């Protein structure tokens, strides 16, 4: 991607349809437009000469060679005039069900085709690599048992001809789609030529906002889920542990949402907020979360290796690594760097010890080892979304430990441009890493999620993706905001319920917030509020009918601001945040912390009661040992830090919103 | 794409919770020191099913395999009875074919039994066992009936009458579907163990 550093005066700074308000402030969290712009970058869609990138082409050639070998074997009985049984088998190798065409069994032929399609779907869903070939060869074999029912000799010509027609039709359709996409891409590039995207640098002082009562009640849903004992799962959704409704994604977004609330509103509060994040991380070590992998690895990679991290499975490892990195970064707590601090244990004999360093090392190694610079979730299947979390794990670890992730970021970008991008800039959502072919998935959900999570490492790419998404999907003038949303975007992937697009809208909301496009964010939020019913019980707020995953993603979106994910992952915290006083303890749900920030010496707090008026105590740490502090807003009596730099503020009357300032005397 | 939609729709239908949201988690409590205060949890009628344990899953699979083996025996006995009373007729008199068929079925049943015995540590932990019987026997009936009639071509029902043929196959199929639906329903409505629990916080 070409750069026009410092060309602000001569180029359009923003996508034309993103108004200044869109990059400005939703509230004080956004920080307005005062944020420094590191550089301006043009991000045209890469020109493509072939429908597929080089690595994909190599994979497809290999796949075609393998299938062509099967066809060649199938042609032998026809060429040498073998017995009817062998001919049925050979025709069955040409096409699933081809043998049954020869044996005059149209119903079985159709059933074979359907079974093969179903096998492909199961292969996509759960990864059993032998299932499709087994169904194909199995149908060919079974057809040899039906030669007594009458033979249709014309099938010896019709089946190979049908095969040729299918291949020619597929190639032609692919070419037509490719050329259309390329034309669209060129038209879009004409417009993108005049647009530069601002790539932000590290914020000097990230804006810290104040949570509204609604924000706090949404956060309480996350806290109540997270603050249970590690082995309890009340309120989590259990459907299956293989696909998107798996509990691991609920845990991921439980941690991301609480981490984001900490970053944008309460960076100087640990207490139950940090504990909630730790619980989410450590629940991921429970066998019921990761045991699914032994089966997927067995039938997908034909390997008995229950260790959930060593190979593939980025759908667990990448997301989890990001959780650990965020926790360490925001809380200054390196407990997960100790060897074996993150140990998967199933009984006494099955123990897989890891720590943050080894997890990040595995992410880096797996990314760089793959020619795609991405690695699979389910065996064979590469999802750029999941690999983006692996990338973020590496970025977080390198930032916290002084490493350099430019090699991984470079490889990832190249791979995207080469093999995971359509000529019109849309994303290839899923590609089979072994065989090379790609399949579609919920496009709006996929691209919206990528906007948020690619922004830390590939910010110009993320902004272009958002620009394209806005062009294609969003209509702020119409009543629906997202009028073109359809198909799989109408599924709540957190519970597989079809029919509503609240989940997709939530993901668009995430992307809009990350891009600072408040115009879209507000419109999407309004559309969610109009279509989804809000449930409010004992101070806990969530959307009815939306999965746990969806609700937690919405909570994450609540606390986001422009470049929040990027700032939180890619850049160090301000020095003042890492040394200044913190609120280290407060009773839950008595005390809800709406704002907590330090300038390195003083601590500013905004508190709200969560269970009615209460007289309570607050615990502080990282004070200067032995120093005296005034507590503005509470008492005239100063507090004195003990030898460890801790102190408590007692008898705090919390009846409504309360501002406190702890400052050194 | 269409297949993906169909699969997700099927998964959604089988696992959907009839519009019932996952229950809210019980309210958590922490003291200022971060200590956990004990509390009483009253599970609502909507409380999600008690979590599957790996033992329960293994026991369920073992029980299912066992019922599958029983289903094979039941199927073979039923076909023998139908042949004897004339409701079914043999299309192939070759003793070798029938022997091969019987041996295949015996191997399948033995395999299922062996798996069941190896996996089963405590079958009492299995999910609702009568429902598993419905699924196991229904699956065996469906698969073996299909193989007998349409792969080996050994028998026909009521001299090939389409209606009875459909009834014959559909019986097993609907037993499986009914079993799955019942199982899903039972799991959704199964209360968490204990009507009122003391949550044992750390």
C-beta separation of A230 from B201 below 8 A: no
The predicted pLDDT at position B100 comes to 83
Angle, helices A548-558 vs A502-514, to 10°: value is 20
Q: Which residues contact B130 (CB under 8 A, 6 or more apart)?
A: none
C-beta separation of A35 from A200 below 8 A: yes
Closest CA to A510 of A462, A471, A441: A462
User: ∠ CA A432-A437-A442 to the nearest 5 degrees?
Assistant: 75
A449-482 pLDDT tens trace: 999 999 999 999 999 999 999 999 888 887 778 8
Confidence of residue B21 (pLDDT cuts 50, 70, 90): confident
The predicted pLDDT at position B198 comes to 37
Between B1 and A29, the higher pLDDT residue: A29
Confidence of residue B55 (pLDDT cuts 50, 70, 90): low
For the record, the structure tokens of B16 come out as 């959907």
The predicted pLDDT at position A497 comes to 87
CB contacts of A648 in chain B (<8 Å) are 32
Interface check for B51 against chain A (CB to CB < 8 A): the answer is yes
Minimal-distance CA residue of chain A relative to B57 = A288
The predicted pLDDT at position A18 comes to 39
First to last CA, chain B: 47
Q: Which residues contact A93 (CB under 8 A, 6 or more apart)?
A: A70, A71, A73, A74, A136, A137, A140
What is the pTM assigned to this prediction?
A: 0.79
The predicted pLDDT at position B5 comes to 47
Interface check for B100 against chain A (CB to CB < 8 A): the answer is no
B109-165 pLDDT tens trace: 888 888 887 776 555 666 677 788 889 999 999 999 988 888 788 888 887 777 788
CB contacts of B49 in chain A (<8 Å) are 238
**Which segments within A24-101 are labelled E, that is strand?**
37-42
The predicted pLDDT at position B99 comes to 85
Query: Closest Cα of chain A to B87: distance in Å?
Result: 24
DSSP per-residue codes, A81-139? T--HHHHHHHHHHHSTTHHHHHTT-HHHHHHHHHHHHHHHHHHHHH--TTHHHHHHHHH
The predicted pLDDT at position B54 comes to 54
* Number of Cβ atoms within 10 Å of the Cβ of A130: 13
DSSP per-residue codes, A337-396? GSTTSEEEEETTTEEEEE-HHHHHHHHHHHHHHSTTS---SSTTEE-HHHHHHHHHHHHH
Q: What is the largest CA-CA distance in chain A?
A: 103
For the record, the structure tokens of A76 come out as 């032998």
DSSP A265: T
Q: How many beta-carbon pairs below 8 A join chains A and B? A: 137
CB contacts of A542 in chain B (<8 Å) are 24
Rounded-to-integer distance, Cα A338 and Cα A424, Å: 46
Query: Closest Cα of chain B to A296: distance in Å?
Result: 16
- Do B32 and A618 lie within an 8 Å CB cutoff? yes
Closest CA to A251 of A315, A187, A307: A315
Rounded-to-integer distance, Cα A373 and Cα A260, Å: 28
**Where is A65: in which H helix or E strand?**
helix A54-80
CB contacts of B33 in chain A (<8 Å) are 585, 619
- Do A229 and B33 lie within an 8 Å CB cutoff? no
What does the radius of gyration of chain B's CA atoms come to, in whole angstroms?
Answer: 23
Interface check for B7 against chain A (CB to CB < 8 A): the answer is yes
Interface check for B163 against chain A (CB to CB < 8 A): the answer is no
The predicted pLDDT at position B197 comes to 37
Q: How many residues does chain A have?
A: 665
Specify the residue for token string 């437009």: A33
Task: Answer whether residue B36 shows pLDDT above 90.
Answer: no
Fold of A575-664: Immunoglobulin-like (2.60.40)
Confidence of residue B181 (pLDDT cuts 50, 70, 90): confident
CB contacts of B24 in chain A (<8 Å) are 221, 224, 235, 535, 537, 540, 542
- Do A224 and B24 lie within an 8 Å CB cutoff? yes
Interface check for B192 against chain A (CB to CB < 8 A): the answer is yes
- Do B6 and A121 lie within an 8 Å CB cutoff? yes
CB contacts of B22 in chain A (<8 Å) are 235-237, 495, 547-548
Which residues in chain A show pLDDT less than 70?
Answer: 1-37
Whole-number Cα distances in Å, A224 to A218, A342, A554, A573, B31: 10, 23, 16, 28, 14
- Do B24 and A221 lie within an 8 Å CB cutoff? yes
The predicted pLDDT at position B20 comes to 59
Query: Closest Cα of chain A to B86: distance in Å?
Result: 24
CB contacts of A121 in chain B (<8 Å) are 3-4, 6-7
Rounded-to-integer distance, Cα B105 and Cα A81, Å: 35
The predicted pLDDT at position B196 comes to 36
CB contacts of B152 in chain A (<8 Å) are 145
CB contacts of A487 in chain B (<8 Å) are 1, 5
Domain boundaries, chain A: 54-180, 575-664
Rounded-to-integer distance, Cα A172 and Cα B146, Å: 40
- Do A585 and B32 lie within an 8 Å CB cutoff? yes
First to last CA, chain A: 53
The predicted pLDDT at position B12 comes to 52
Query: Closest Cα of chain B to A235: distance in Å?
Result: 4
A646-660 pLDDT tens trace: 999 999 999 999 999
Specify the residue for token string 């359009």: A12
């Amino acid at each position: 991607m070409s750069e026009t550093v410092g060309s602000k005066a001569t180029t359009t700074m923003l996508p034309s349809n993103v108004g200044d308000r869109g990059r400005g402030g939703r509230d004080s969290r956004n920080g307005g437009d005062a944020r420094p712009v590191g550089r301006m970058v043009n991000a045209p869609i890469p020109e493509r000469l072939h429908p597929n990138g080089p690595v994909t082409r190599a994979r497809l050639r290999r796949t075609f060679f393998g299938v062509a070998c099967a066809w060649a074997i199938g042609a032998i009985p026809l060429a040498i005039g073998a017995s009817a049984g062998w001919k049925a088998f050979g025709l069955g190798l040409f096409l699933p069900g081809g043998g049954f065409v020869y044996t005059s069994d149209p119903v079985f032929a159709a059933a074979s085709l359907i079974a093969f399609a179903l096998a492909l779907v199961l292969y996509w869903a759960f990864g059993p690599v032998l299932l499709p070939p087994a169904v194909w060869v199995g149908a060919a074999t079974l057809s040899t048992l039906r030669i007594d029912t009458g033979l249709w000799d014309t099938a010896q010509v019709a089946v190979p001809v049908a095969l040729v027609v299918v291949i020619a039709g597929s190639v032609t359709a692919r070419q037509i789609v490719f050329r259309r996409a390329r034309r669209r891409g060129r038209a879009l590039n004409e417009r993108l030529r005049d647009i530069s995207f601002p790539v932000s640098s590290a914020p000097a002082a990230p804006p810290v906002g104040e949570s509204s009562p609604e924000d706090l009640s949404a956060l309480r849903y996350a806290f109540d889920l997270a603050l249970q004992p590690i082995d309890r799962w009340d309120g989590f959704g259990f459907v299956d542990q293989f696909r998107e409704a798996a509990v691991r994604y609920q845990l991921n977004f439980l941690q991301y949402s609480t981490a984001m609330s900490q970053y944008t509103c309460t960076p100087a509060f640990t207490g139950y907020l940090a504990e909630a994040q730790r619980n989410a991380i450590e629940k991921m070590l429970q066998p019921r979360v990761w045991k699914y992998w032994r089966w997927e690895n067995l039938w997908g990679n034909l390997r008995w290796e229950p260790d959930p991290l060593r190979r593939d499975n980025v759908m667990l490892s990448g997301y989890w690594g990001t959780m650990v990195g965020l926790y360490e970064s925001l809380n200054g707590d390196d407990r997960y760097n100790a060897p074996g601090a993150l140990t998967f244990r199933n009984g006494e004999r099955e123990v897989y010890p890891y720590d943050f360093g080894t997890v990040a090392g595995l992410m880096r190694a797996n990314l760089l080892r793959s020619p795609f610079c991405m690695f699979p979730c389910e065996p064979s299947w590469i999802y750029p979304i999941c690999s983006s979390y692996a990338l973020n794990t590496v970025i977080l670890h390198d930032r916290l430990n002084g490493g350099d992730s430019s090699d991984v970021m470079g490889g990832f970008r190249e791979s995207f441009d080469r093999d995971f991008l359509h000529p019109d800039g849309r994303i290839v959502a899923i590609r089979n890493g072994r065989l090379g072919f790609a399949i579609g998935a919920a496009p709006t959900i996929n691209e919206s999620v990528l906007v948020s999570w690619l922004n830390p490492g590939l910010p110009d790419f993320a902004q272009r993706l958002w620009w394209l998404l806005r062009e294609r999907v969003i209509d702020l003038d119409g009543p629906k905001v997202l009028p073109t949303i359809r198909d799989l975007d109408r599924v709540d992937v957190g519970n597989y319920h079809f029919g509503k697009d609240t989940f997709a809208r939530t993901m668009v909301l995430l992307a809009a917030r990350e891009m600072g496009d408040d115009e879209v964010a507000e419109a999407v939020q309004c559309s969610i509020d109009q279509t989804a019913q809000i449930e409010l019980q004992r101070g806990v707020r969530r959307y009815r009918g939306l999965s746990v995953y969806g609700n937690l993603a919405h909570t994450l979106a609540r606390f986001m601001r422009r470049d929040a994910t990027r700032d939180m992952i890619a850049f160090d915290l301000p020095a003042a945040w890492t040394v200044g006083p913190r609120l280290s303890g407060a009773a839950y749900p008595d005390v809800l912390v709406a704002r907590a920030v330090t300038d390195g010496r003083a601590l500013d707090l905004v508190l709200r009661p969560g269970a009615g008026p209460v007289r309570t105590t607050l615990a502080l740490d990282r004070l200067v040992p032995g120093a005296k502090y005034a507590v503005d807003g509470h008492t005239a009596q100063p507090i004195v830090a003990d030898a460890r730099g801790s102190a408590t503020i007692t008898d705090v009357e919390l009846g409504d919103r309360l501002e406190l300032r702890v400052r050194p005397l | 794409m269409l297949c993906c939609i169909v699969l997700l729709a099927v998964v959604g239908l089988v696992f959907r919770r009839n519009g019932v949201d996952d229950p809210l988690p019980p309210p958590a409590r922490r003291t200022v020191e971060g200590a956990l205060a004990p509390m009483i949890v009253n599970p609502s009628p909507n409380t999600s099913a008690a979590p599957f344990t790996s033992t329960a899953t293994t026991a369920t699979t073992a029980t299912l395999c066992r019922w599958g083996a029983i289903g094979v025996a039941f199927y073979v006995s039923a076909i023998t009875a139908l042949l004897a009373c004339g409701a079914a007729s043999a299309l192939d008199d070759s003793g070798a074919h029938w022997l091969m068929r019987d041996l295949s079925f015996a191997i399948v049943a033995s395999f299922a039994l062996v798996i069941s015995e190896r996996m089963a540590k405590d079958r009492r932990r299995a999910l609702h066992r009568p429902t598993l019987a419905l699924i196991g026997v229904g699956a065996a009936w469906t698969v073996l009936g299909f193989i007998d009639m349409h792969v080996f071509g050994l028998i026909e029902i009521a001299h090939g009458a389409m209606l009875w043929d459909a009834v014959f196959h559909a019986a097993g199929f609907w037993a499986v579907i009914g079993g799955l639906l019942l199982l899903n329903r039972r799991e959704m409505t199964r209360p968490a163990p204990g009507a009122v629990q003391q949550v044992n916080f750390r």
